[in-house]
Structure 1
Amino acid sequence: MSAGTGQRAAAPGPSTQKPRGIDRVLAFVERAGNALPNPVVLFTVLFGVVAVVSTALALADVSVTVPGTDDTKQITGLLTGAGVRWLVENLVTNFAAFPPIAAVLLMIMAVGVAERAGLLETAMRATLARAPRAFLPYLVALVACQAHMMSDVAAIVLPPLAAVVFKSAGRHPAAGLIGGFACVTAGYAAGFTIGSLDALYTGITQQAVAVLSDTHHADVNILANYFFTAASSLVLGLIGGFLISRVLEPRLPAYTATADAPDASESEDIRLTPAERRGLLCTGLVVAVYAAVVLSLWLPNGAPLRGEGGALVPSPLLTGIVPVLFGGFLLAGVTYGFTVKTLSGSEGVVAAMTDSVKNMSGYVVMMFVAAQVIAVFNWSNLGVLLAVKAAALLKSVGLTGFGALVAFILLVSCLNLVILSGSALWSLIGPVFVPAFMLLGMSPALSQAAFRIGDSATAVITPMNPYVFLLLALLQRYEPEARLGTLISRLAIFVVPFLVAWLGILAVFYGFDLPLGPGAGISLK
């Protein structure tokens, strides 16, 4: 936040200006977010609350009957003899068997190799470098809506790159900078690319489904939202391009080069060298061969990756898609790195994988505590009780269909202003709302798709997003007088259009009962 603090000090007379409404709202959000503890502490407190509540309900002999069944579940308390024995016997297992851990780390290792090799940035530059001036905003927005594959690195790499590309095309560089960041952030959970984010969401959803595992069965794989996110990225790319070109750019002050602004010669940096072009070509050929091999093991009759009875969906390919994607990313990163010599033999590959896992240490610690909370939810049957009560509440107020999803998305959008971590937020509310919506006949894939919307749309305007302050520092290279409020007001134009468009897309899938992904429908099977 040092960039934001520094810019406030430099601004002329900020203390004499009456705070505007947006400034007061942002100040409130920032204070509320700062008041929240670290996610690890938050989950630790929640673990204590669950332990006490489950024990109190168990002593009160509370039970719950799952609607539509004769199955009555007794609430069991963690702070009892049986609870202590269960925790001691299962503490390690709860963590080791937590689905997000292995899948996310596996994807992070493979994507880390591709990132260290320079493949992801080179592919992005190759996409943007020669785009026609008129189509440049739309291409930037479309690429940005796929960028979650690069994880948080996308918010650092793509915006300044888009600014340079805009400047080289004779357009306002700040439009590329701000528009690129807005589309990366507000469209973060969209895309027809698959990455660690998909593995993270899916793993937590699988654990949430387990709350009703005895009475309801639903399979969720990493491609459960693929059709929805792919369609969303195309629509959001068009909307984002329109907003950049027709709304954001015309309202920017005239650009005047300053001493701190990137020199025009930086436009040369976006052009690929012969070695980079050769690397992309070799990588494309290798990945094409890999994809052909995978498809040959899945599509033909009698292929080993076909499902029961020769079915394409469901099949071992879908349930095992994470290892398949791991192999594809790893092969692509290694091929490109060896071709352009950004990776030095096997030691370079191992170092890239190791460094990428090191950066996930905070996530692993948080997931250890989150795994225990969700496990206690399931074992104590407290999750079932909350899900049944939540479903009953939604029915009592008349929210049993798409209206319930809209209310849920708006709730997530508000919570996302102060809890920016998608894994933390989904771990907190998924075990309640996934089974609650299942009791209303909605599939876990639908709940996850709805969460994606709320988890993305408002992240672009919250002061809790550390990359907002990095963006401000970059913006001041083009507009030295820019302040945080100015930046937020420009980013805010993307929130409502993206949220409305995404709700519209979900409404189409919901209304026409379209599959959200391979084998993942709207309704619970």
Structure 2
Amino acid sequence: MEATELRDAPRPRLSIRMLNAIERFGNRLPDPFMIFVILAMAVLVASALFAAAGATVEHPGTGEIEAIRSLVSSAGIQFVLTSMLDNFTGFAPLGLVLSMMLGIGLAEKLGLLESLIRRTILSAPKSLVTYTVAFTGIMMNVASDASLILLPPLAAMVYHSLGRHPIAGLALGFASAGAGFTANLLIVGTDALLSGISTEAARIVSSDMTVTPVDNWYFNCVSVFVLTIVAAVVTERVIEPRLGTYKGDVDQVENSEPENAGRGLRNAGIAALIYIGAIATLLFWPDSPLRGPGGTMIPSPFLSGIIPIILFFFITVSVTWGITVGRITSSRDISENMAEAMRDLGSYIVLIFAASQFIAWFNWSHIGTWIAVNGADVLTAMDFTGFPVILCYIVFTACMNLLIFSGSAKWALEAPVFVPMFMQLGYHPAFVQVAYRIADSSTNIISPLNPYMIVVLTFIRKYDKSAGLGTLMSLMLPYTLAFLVIWILLLTAFYLLGIPYGPGITTYLPS
């Protein structure tokens, strides 16, 4: 009987079978840490083969002829052993991300971010709830992956209380937090992480090139408002009509806010205004130490020191909140919550150790320069150097996201190859980073390897017991396609109009 039932069961749709195949293939891939170990070993072997063949390359920055250096030579072995610790501790993203998470992690662990989300959505006018959830989800990447767990059930609760379908709210919360992950009005941990990796990759070509955390800020700010509208329109015009009217009952999300959360948010807001006012006063003070030579803003100590400024901002508002609501009663509570936030970064630190060795070996051997120069020459010979090559790169990265979910791991893989190559074509590394971000972010919510999909599917089953992975995929696909298309159009507008992506950052390298 069971065998007959299995034979008679309807075959899944082609789209579901494809996603299942991607999931099975992706699950067979090694852990990202091991991927970098394997790649490092591949560089070691390739460097020996290239060196034995006498391969050389003309360095695009200095014009000098450089030979490919073997990592299994005496000099190579010495480099591997003597540079290992410096490769790790000197890896640009490490200090940036750890510093940012000291402040942002403190705000998360003390419950400030969760309370802010809850109050923001619940206080919004009914007609603006969809836009408020979308805006909050996009902005919540300040809390990193925590937003993917905090927002969806809360949005579902709000939708249900308004007589709307709770799964629509849940889908909107997950889509805006996941697909809009890279956009923000603030400078957050993602900016610090990606810019650090971009800097390491860009220095394959130019030793003095630096990509800062603010280099994509203008584009990100515009993206927040554009994607908020896109997410809201998709929800109200596509998702809700498809779901129809919800008639079931659900349990309400438990409110874990402290009783005096309102007073805590008020005091935190006052502290934020005082802090911002103090920085603004110092910034515009005559002969300000935050300005560059001649009073310039680009470059300036303010921009190069933006991470410490943001770190102290989050510490200020978090401590104010914690003391007000009683979650900080001694200085020990501050350090313990910071330490708890750092523990969440354990897997990231392990990954960075392997990634830093791979990139350092790649650079030292000159293989990165060889690939960049020859790859650019091939594209030039094909007359494939304009904006279409960037569009192809976006599609490539979007497809890669179905197999490698970690944005930092994927950029650490791609940046050493594509950043130098596109720099050879005249593109600024911060522009290449923008292209990467929109491709990676928009497809986060349909990647079968997204570990939060199972969590969100559990939330969905509170409202629909029969829901499966296909249900979630069908809900997320309209958001992915809309975000990717609109984001590409936005990037095209910036490209054609010459709008800077961040302070002083345009599409092309300065001549």
Q: Please, what TM-score do these two structures have when normalized by structure 2?
A: 0.96
Residue 81 of structure 2 corresponds to 88
Does residue 338 (structure 1) correspond to residue 323 (structure 2)? The answer is: yes
- Contact kept, 8 Å, 1:103 with 1:322, in 2: the verdict is yes
- Distance of 2:7 and 2:102 partners within structure 1: 46
Pairing 1:354-393 to 2, within 5 Å after superposition = 354-393=339-378
- Contact kept, 8 Å, 2:109 with 2:341, in 1: the verdict is no
Residue 133 of structure 1 corresponds to 126
- Distance of 2:408 and 2:304 partners within structure 1: 21
Residue 218 of structure 1 corresponds to 209
Does residue 55 (structure 1) correspond to residue 43 (structure 2)? The answer is: no
SS of equivalent residue, structure 2 residue 66: strand
Residue 40 of structure 1 corresponds to 33
Deviation string 1:211-247 (CA, Å, 9 cap, x unpaired) is 0124xx4331111101001101110100000111111
- Distance of 2:372 and 2:301 partners within structure 1: 31
Residue 100 of structure 1 corresponds to 93
Pairing 1:203-352 to 2, within 5 Å after superposition = 203-214=196-207, 217-258=208-249, 261-263=250-252, 269=255, 275-352=260-337
Q: Select 1:122's aligned residue among 115, 138, 153.
A: 115
Residue 29 of structure 1 corresponds to 22
Query: Could you tell which deviates more after superposition, 144-153 or 189-198?
Result: 189-198
CA drift at 1:325? 0.7
Change (3 A) 1:281 1:24: same
Matched residue pairs, number? 507
Residue 428 of structure 1 corresponds to 413
- Contact kept, 8 Å, 2:88 with 2:356, in 1: the verdict is yes
SS of equivalent residue, structure 1 residue 392: helix
- Contact kept, 8 Å, 1:144 with 1:183, in 2: the verdict is yes
- Distance of 1:426 and 1:342 partners within structure 2: 37
Residue 190 of structure 1 corresponds to 183
- Distance of 1:349 and 1:311 partners within structure 2: 36
CA drift at 1:301? 3.0
Change (3 A) 1:293 1:499: same
List gaps (5 residues or longer) in structure 2. none
Query: Could you tell which deviates more after superposition, 299-308 or 491-500?
Result: 299-308
- Contact kept, 8 Å, 2:258 with 2:325, in 1: the verdict is no
- Distance of 1:15 and 1:92 partners within structure 2: 60
CA drift at 1:47? 0.4
- Distance of 1:13 and 1:327 partners within structure 2: 60
Residue 467 of structure 1 corresponds to 452
Does residue 498 (structure 1) correspond to residue 471 (structure 2)? The answer is: no
CA drift at 1:15? 7.3
SS of equivalent residue, structure 1 residue 515: coil
- Distance of 1:449 and 1:280 partners within structure 2: 33
CA drift at 1:13? 7.1
CA drift at 1:131? 1.7
Q: Please, what TM-score do these two structures have when normalized by structure 1?
A: 0.93
- Distance of 1:343 and 1:469 partners within structure 2: 34
- Distance of 2:149 and 2:329 partners within structure 1: 25
- Distance of 2:8 and 2:94 partners within structure 1: 47
Aligned amino acid, residue 44 of structure 1: V
Aligned amino acid, residue 416 of structure 1: N
- Contact kept, 8 Å, 1:374 with 1:431, in 2: the verdict is yes
Residue 520 of structure 1 corresponds to 505
CA drift at 1:274? 6.4
Deviation string 1:376-397 (CA, Å, 9 cap, x unpaired) is 1111111111111221232233
CA drift at 1:344? 3.0
SS of equivalent residue, structure 1 residue 82: helix
Does residue 395 (structure 1) correspond to residue 380 (structure 2)? The answer is: yes
CA drift at 1:510? 1.0
Aligned amino acid, residue 224 of structure 2: S
- Distance of 1:14 and 1:243 partners within structure 2: 37
SS of equivalent residue, structure 2 residue 288: coil
Change (3 A) 1:273 1:43: closer
Q: Percent identity?
A: 38
SS of equivalent residue, structure 1 residue 198: helix
- Contact kept, 8 Å, 2:203 with 2:209, in 1: the verdict is no
CA drift at 1:313? 1.3
- Contact kept, 8 Å, 1:182 with 1:491, in 2: the verdict is yes
- Contact kept, 8 Å, 1:296 with 1:303, in 2: the verdict is no
CA drift at 1:273? 7.0
CA drift at 1:314? 0.8
Aligned amino acid, residue 419 of structure 2: V
Does residue 404 (structure 1) correspond to residue 393 (structure 2)? The answer is: no
Aligned amino acid, residue 313 of structure 2: G
- Distance of 1:459 and 1:356 partners within structure 2: 23
List gaps (5 residues or longer) in structure 1. 1-8
Instruction: Give the aligned CA root-mean-square deviation in angstroms.
Output: 1.8
- Contact kept, 8 Å, 1:390 with 1:433, in 2: the verdict is no
- Contact kept, 8 Å, 2:185 with 2:217, in 1: the verdict is yes
Deviation string 1:437-485 (CA, Å, 9 cap, x unpaired) is 1111111110111110111111111221111111111111111121211
